[in-house]
């Protein structure tokens, strides 16, 4: 469960040499794609299963524990909701709403874990 989220040491970016060459031509900064670790993916998926719309405090905590930028986490949740909407694995996932009771219980366990920054 989410209470088992442990801080991640790092994530390795995927670098595209073609993009690097274009960057020098266009002189614009290109975003490096984040390569999520298995631990990060599992943690995000578990949290998502109880709360599809984390609040800013939860985003910040996930960011610190998983060593990912808040923007990366926000985009991950947006992409996950979009994938679920466009490619549902079952009919229930289209209509699934956040469960506030389950999300609150999970958040309480998560925030009381020894890895939670106080």
Per residue in 26-36, pLDDT tens? 667 888 899 99
Distance CA 87, CA 62 (A): 26
Mean pLDDT of all residues belonging to the chain: 77
The mean pLDDT value for 18-42 works out to 76
Phi-psi region of 91 (alpha: psi -120 to 50; beta: other; left: phi over 0): alpha
The mean pLDDT value for 7-31 works out to 59
Q: Which of 23-27, 59-63, 99-103, 107-111 has the lowest mean pLDDT?
A: 23-27
Per residue in 70-103, pLDDT tens? 999 999 999 999 999 888 776 554 445 566 677 6
Domains of the chain listed by start with CATH number: 2-7+37-111 (1.10.10.60)
The mean pLDDT value for 33-44 works out to 95
pLDDT of residue 94: 44
Q: Check pLDDT > 60 for residue 47.
A: yes
Distance CA 103, CA 84 (A): 19
């Amino acid at each position: 469960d989410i209470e088992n989220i442990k801080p991640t040491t790092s994530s390795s970016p995927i670098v595209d040499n073609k993009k690097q060459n274009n960057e020098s031509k266009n002189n614009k900064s290109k975003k490096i794609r984040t390569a999520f670790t298995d631990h990060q993916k599992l943690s995000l998926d578990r949290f998502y299963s109880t709360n599809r719309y984390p609040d800013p405090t939860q985003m910040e905590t996930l960011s610190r524990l998983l060593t990912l930028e808040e923007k990366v986490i926000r985009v991950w949740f947006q992409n996950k909701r979009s994938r679920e909407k466009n490619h549902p694995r079952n009919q229930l996932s289209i209509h699934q709403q956040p469960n506030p009771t389950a999300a609150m219980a999970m958040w309480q366990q998560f925030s009381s874990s020894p890895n939670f920054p106080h």
